[in-house]
């Protein structure tokens, strides 16, 4: 049973790159192009890991994060913010809201895969 990863980003090319590298590693990848969709996909798929962009239409990544953390079912879900917002304040904001990690764009696919493997304990 492959582990499931939800990725949410409104940038189709970013989504495409993440999807490609994660699928390449054999993960099951579920994508979402906005915050509301991301929340739905997480609830549907019960993933092992979630990548959230912050600046998304309809609902931003931090809101999605807080919604999830408010739900007892997702207290332990590993959530990684992946965003072009590079300010320290943004980073702290997300970490305080319950993000496990904060990755700044542009990201390195290689390093990201390495990190995903660590997180998922492989």
98 binds another protein (CB under 8 A): no
CB nearer to another protein: pick between 46 and 87: 87
Nearest to 35 by CA among 68, 76, 1: 68
DSSP code string of 74-122: GSS-EEEEEES---HHHHHHHHHTT-SEEEESSPPHHHHHHHHHHHTT-
Q: How far apart are CB 45 and another protein at their closest, in Å?
A: 21
State the minimum distance, in angstroms, from the CB of residue 114 to another protein: 12
Count of residues that bind another protein according to CB under 8 A? 27
Query: 62 and 30 in contact (C-beta within 8 Å)?
Result: no
Query: Which residue matches tokens 């496990």?
Result: 100
Residue 104 sits in the site that holds another protein (CB under 8 A): yes
Instruction: Read off the tokens for 16.
Output: 């495409």
Considering only residues 1, 26, 76, 110, which one is a binding residue for another protein as defined by CB under 8 A?
A: 110
Among 97, 109, 119, 120, binds another protein (CB under 8 A): 109
Nearer to another protein, 2 or 57 (CB): 57
Does the footprint of another protein cover residue 117 (CB under 8 A)?
Answer: no
Q: How many helices (H) and strands (E) does the chain have?
A: 5, 5
Binding region for another protein (CB under 8 A): 10-14, 16-18, 20-21, 24, 33-34, 55, 57-58, 84-87, 104-110
């Amino acid at each position: 049973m492959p582990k499931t990863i939800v990725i949410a980003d409104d940038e189709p090319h970013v989504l495409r790159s993440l999807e490609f590298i994660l699928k390449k590693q054999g993960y099951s990848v579920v994508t979402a192009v906005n915050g509301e969709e991301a929340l739905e996909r997480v609830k549907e798929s019960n993933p092992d890991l979630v990548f959230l962009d912050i600046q998304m239409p309809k609902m931003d990544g931090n809101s999605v994060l807080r919604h999830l953390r408010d739900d007892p079912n997702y207290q332990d879900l590993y959530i990684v913010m992946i965003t072009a917002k590079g300010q320290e304040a943004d980073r702290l904001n997300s970490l305080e809201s319950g993000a496990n990690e904060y990755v700044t764009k542009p990201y390195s696919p290689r390093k990201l895969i390495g990190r995903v493997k660590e997180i998922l304990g492989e």
